[in-house]
Structure 1
Amino acid sequence: MHDVVITGGLLATGAGSVHADLAIRDGTVAAIGADLGPARREIDATGRLVLPGGVDSHCHIEQLSGAGLMNADTFETATCSALMGGTTSTISFAAQHPGMRLSTVVADYEALAERGAMTDHAFHMIVSDVSGETLTHDLPALMAAGHRSIKLFTVYDKVRVGDAEILDVLWTAREHGGLVCVHAENDGLIRWMVRRLVESGRVAPHHHPISHPRAAEIEALSRTCRFAEFTGQPVMLFHVSCAEGVGVVREARGRGAPVVAETCPHYLFMTAADFADPPVEPAGLMCSPPQRESADQEALWAGLARGDLDLVSSDHAPYRLDESGKYANGRDAPFTRMANGMPGLETRLPLLFDAMVSKGRLGLDRFVALTSTRPAEIFGLTGKGRLLPGYDADVAIWDPAATRTFGANDLHDNTGYNPFAGRSVQGWPVTVLRRGEVVVEDGVLAARAGSGRRIPMAVSPAMTPQANPPAARLDP
């Protein structure tokens, strides 16, 4: 007796698509085929698509920013929003600030997630302070415990690390098995641009995109790729936003550099021109790197098609449009004193489904790969990202004919606005299962806070360092 059998749908397994039924037992996929036998519950998916639950590998949840501002979302509100949008696994951040012990930071975030998270989840460790025992004890111990993703910033005062520190972290990750993710922008270029904008009085939110020139991204991406090449340690380049950035990734891979990369929906579906007539207050569109131009959008889509870019994450970074969030320093504050980021956990999959499946851009199997299979593979999330026997039964059943127009405040997070308000999409996840349990049905959440589980990261092929890199010549 199976626990659940899903019948009649088109099943996208992560290894191809097939008209087949799916049987679930004890939280995992038990069988795929026809006439799979009796079940305690049967779900009719005739006319619908049965897909792996989404894996969002870049989201900020219940996180204190470098400026000391807390995200709007708790783990409960953020993961509720994720499930409602078809995402069943999330990777958020355990953010170390200078002076904090990394092991304590990770334990504190684990406790928050244990109480509130409804998605299965893992963490990226933000490392901003490599002093003390960070590199000699905490990082190796945490990586051995399955926290194998490290995030570094090349920009922002409170979290920025220098080149030598980046190399130290890369070498530590190489020795213990992990992936180093980088927010790559050149700090000096941005400081120079910000100073000139402030001096000339151009401080409204719509001036923010100018303050982060594409040259800042291009330089830092290039430098990070060279560091990966020098150490032989794989890196993930977060939120590539521009055409030249895609070119940097492509060129680095052509040289053999161990690099993977992502982009985000706000770069695929927004441009800097949206600040002129925004669907919400302009501060609600501020993010870093900023939105670019329509030509950059086409370059990003081409990079996804070629495989230069490996996945699409939300970079969910929720701040309310009030004094608790974007306007913590007043509604008339300059953009330099406004929080960067926007919500995206719930909109990521519907936006991409509409573009890739409903409108035919790249197709169903690539949609599944970019939003579920590849992020699970890259970050070593064993059992996630595919609907094959033995994998976790994380399932999103999509109605491809369902249409929805986003409203001003229709998301299930705690941000209070939708940056894609007014945009219509075709295709919606109507039923969501997490490890075989129905957690969303007909728009109603059925999960309880804290029911998600932490996913220990395994060492994935994307984390495997190259043999004998140039830096190894210094080894004894």
Structure 2
Amino acid sequence: MSVDTVVTNGTLVSSSGTVDGGVAIADGTIVAVGDESHLPAAAETVDAGGRLVMPGIVDPHVHFDGPNPLFDGPRETYEAGSEAAALGGVTTVIDFAWQGATRDGADGRRGTLRDGIAYQKRTADESLIDYGLHGTITREDPDLFAELPAIVDDGVTSFKLFTTYDWGVSNGFMGSVFDRLSELDAVAIVHTEDESVCAQRAAVLEEADRGDPTEYPASRPDYAEAMAADDALCLAVEAGCKYYGLHTSSEKAAAVIERYRREFGEELVRGETCTHYVTLDRSRYAEIGTLAQMAPPLRSSADVDALFESLSRDDLDVVSTDHVAYRRDEKEADDWWDSPYGVNGLQHSLPVFFDEAVHRRGHSPSSVVRAMAARPARLFGLEEKGTLEPGTDADLVVFDPAAQYAISAEDNASEADYSIYEGRSVRGTVVHTMVRGEFVVRDGRVVGDPGYGEFVARTRPDWQR
């Protein structure tokens, strides 16, 4: 038997441990893993040079091209965003299809969720890496419920709701959505901040002319995040609906997720945080101003430590990026309320998190694989992703844990021309990235072709496994 590629001389990192060995790949699939003396001959042998060989990173929370029909959002093309992802070892992303988004400029306030999914699939045809989609619900439209079964059958098996912004929904409507998603065995993913609290705190700050970026976190306090999470979780567990808490930024919000998870089980309750929430704190606003503005905000150093503890206890499952690309001239403002929300971080997320978790806090490389590959793949029904198991997609990252570099926006593949991590020194860098057995990054350079990435239809995930 001969195969296409064998990756040799590596330390294979799974979610449960490490072992020295190699990986054999044929027709885009992993066909054998282990002792190199037992692997088949190959047309090409790739020497990992003693570095780590990990499953490709799965980021279930990115924002690429495909505007929210309710505002003029960022314009990260799939080509630029997927190149940034590949350079950071990310082989699969899950993006958002906004209810009513269309390419032809039709009124998105009347369009359907299926319109948004069709739009997103068309604009994603230049992606370098594989992608899935979340459906994003932006209004209380009863016609939505008739759309959902076919959408789930087509492989979009998770749906985002907001408790804030102009497109946030009421608790009553949210509860009805949870009832329907429970019947369909789909997943609810929720941005939780109490809109009335955030609006009131922001108004107080604006009236007092407290526009310095260091004041921004007070406009979206941690208790507002926790309050909304509590409401949403109460509705979800009553409905028996799988609930995934997005971008958890604070100890208080993490504690709410932990409480419901312990009472109702991990088969119903899961949660994520983001790389920036476990590596940066609110002092970053004094350093780079509104370039660091996202929602929820960066919190205290105590919150950073608490979120790491939640990951260590498995009370939070996933580390994502919530990647949003704006340019510096769009983000910079004298007053924080004049700056849009969202920061880019996809290209450096794996090195930053690996450095923080492994080198600075003493966690294992396997913990990184669990939080950034294995769990997001399993929780969102990406059955062939996030693992080095034979029979799954040959999505691999060769990662040098010792190489040190300083992050600079000059290296950005993203449309964003700044980095929230600017100047940060990290140990660990991506050498090669493979998607379904093909190099998309080799020796730190993009070599893949736009359009190689494919839409991945996801299954209804089983959270009890």
1:194 counterpart = 2:202? yes
Report the Cα offset of residue 410 of structure 1. Answer: 2.1
Determine helix, strand or coil for the equivalent of 1:347. helix
**Which position in structure 2 is the counterpart of 1:471?**
none
For residues 7 and 408 of structure 1, the distance between their equivalents in structure 2, rounded to whole angstroms, comes to 33
1:306 counterpart = 2:331? no
Report the Cα offset of residue 409 of structure 1. Answer: 3.1
TM-score, structure 2 as length reference: 0.94
Report the Cα offset of residue 205 of structure 1. Answer: 2.9
Determine helix, strand or coil for the equivalent of 1:462. coil
Q: Deviations over 1:168-215 (max 9, x none)?
A: 111111111210000000000001101111111112333221100111
**Which position in structure 2 is the counterpart of 1:77?**
80
In the TM superposition, 1:158-307 aligns within 5 A as: 159-256=167-264, 258-278=268-288, 282-307=289-314
Which of 47, 67, 71 aligns to 1:64? It is: 67
Determine helix, strand or coil for the equivalent of 1:64. coil
Write the letter of the residue equivalent to 2:110: G
Write the letter of the residue equivalent to 1:195: A
In the TM superposition, 1:59-458 aligns within 5 A as: 59-65=62-68, 68-96=71-99, 98-113=109-124, 115-136=125-146, 138-157=147-166, 159-256=167-264, 258-278=268-288, 282-322=289-329, 325-326=330-331, 331-332=333-334, 334-359=335-360, 361-458=362-459
For residues 321 and 100 of structure 1, the distance between their equivalents in structure 2, rounded to whole angstroms, comes to 32
User: Is the 8 Å Cα contact of residues 326 and 338 (structure 1) preserved in structure 2?
Assistant: yes
Gaps of 5+ in 1: 465-476
**Which position in structure 1 is the counterpart of 2:103?**
none
User: Is the 8 Å Cα contact of residues 117 and 451 (structure 1) preserved in structure 2?
Assistant: yes
User: Is the 8 Å Cα contact of residues 138 and 161 (structure 2) preserved in structure 1?
Assistant: yes
Report the Cα offset of residue 245 of structure 1. Answer: 1.4
Change (3 A) 1:179 1:128: same
Q: Deviations over 1:281-302 (max 9, x none)?
A: x121000000000110110000
Report the Cα offset of residue 29 of structure 1. Answer: 0.4
Identity within the alignment, %: 33
User: Is the 8 Å Cα contact of residues 72 and 320 (structure 1) preserved in structure 2?
Assistant: no
Report the Cα offset of residue 272 of structure 1. Answer: 1.1
User: Is the 8 Å Cα contact of residues 65 and 71 (structure 1) preserved in structure 2?
Assistant: no
Report the Cα offset of residue 57 of structure 1. Answer: 0.6
Determine helix, strand or coil for the equivalent of 2:448. coil
For residues 305 and 418 of structure 1, the distance between their equivalents in structure 2, rounded to whole angstroms, comes to 27
Write the letter of the residue equivalent to 2:89: G
User: Is the 8 Å Cα contact of residues 410 and 418 (structure 1) preserved in structure 2?
Assistant: no
For residues 356 and 126 of structure 1, the distance between their equivalents in structure 2, rounded to whole angstroms, comes to 31
For residues 418 and 451 of structure 1, the distance between their equivalents in structure 2, rounded to whole angstroms, comes to 27
**Which position in structure 2 is the counterpart of 1:474?**
none
User: Is the 8 Å Cα contact of residues 3 and 42 (structure 2) preserved in structure 1?
Assistant: yes
For residues 428 and 414 of structure 2, the distance between their equivalents in structure 1, rounded to whole angstroms, comes to 20
Write the letter of the residue equivalent to 1:301: F
- Report the number of matched residues: 452
For residues 243 and 62 of structure 1, the distance between their equivalents in structure 2, rounded to whole angstroms, comes to 32
For residues 227 and 129 of structure 1, the distance between their equivalents in structure 2, rounded to whole angstroms, comes to 18
For residues 399 and 364 of structure 2, the distance between their equivalents in structure 1, rounded to whole angstroms, comes to 14
Gaps of 5+ in 2: 101-108
| The 10-residue stretch of structure 1 (400-409 or 351-360) with the greater mean CA deviation from structure 2 | 351-360
Report the Cα offset of residue 99 of structure 1. Answer: 2.0
User: Is the 8 Å Cα contact of residues 351 and 428 (structure 2) preserved in structure 1?
Assistant: yes
For residues 252 and 86 of structure 2, the distance between their equivalents in structure 1, rounded to whole angstroms, comes to 34
TM-score, structure 1 as length reference: 0.92
User: Is the 8 Å Cα contact of residues 217 and 297 (structure 2) preserved in structure 1?
Assistant: yes
User: Is the 8 Å Cα contact of residues 213 and 286 (structure 2) preserved in structure 1?
Assistant: no
Report the Cα offset of residue 392 of structure 1. Answer: 0.4
Report the Cα offset of residue 336 of structure 1. Answer: 2.5
Determine helix, strand or coil for the equivalent of 2:315. coil
RMSD: 1.5
User: Is the 8 Å Cα contact of residues 265 and 314 (structure 1) preserved in structure 2?
Assistant: yes
Change (3 A) 1:408 1:75: closer
Report the Cα offset of residue 132 of structure 1. Answer: 4.8
User: Is the 8 Å Cα contact of residues 178 and 463 (structure 1) preserved in structure 2?
Assistant: no
User: Is the 8 Å Cα contact of residues 249 and 299 (structure 2) preserved in structure 1?
Assistant: yes
Write the letter of the residue equivalent to 1:290: P
Q: Deviations over 1:344-367 (max 9, x none)?
A: 111110111112233453211111
**Which position in structure 1 is the counterpart of 2:105?**
none
**Which position in structure 1 is the counterpart of 2:25?**
24
User: Is the 8 Å Cα contact of residues 205 and 219 (structure 2) preserved in structure 1?
Assistant: yes
For residues 306 and 463 of structure 1, the distance between their equivalents in structure 2, rounded to whole angstroms, comes to 17
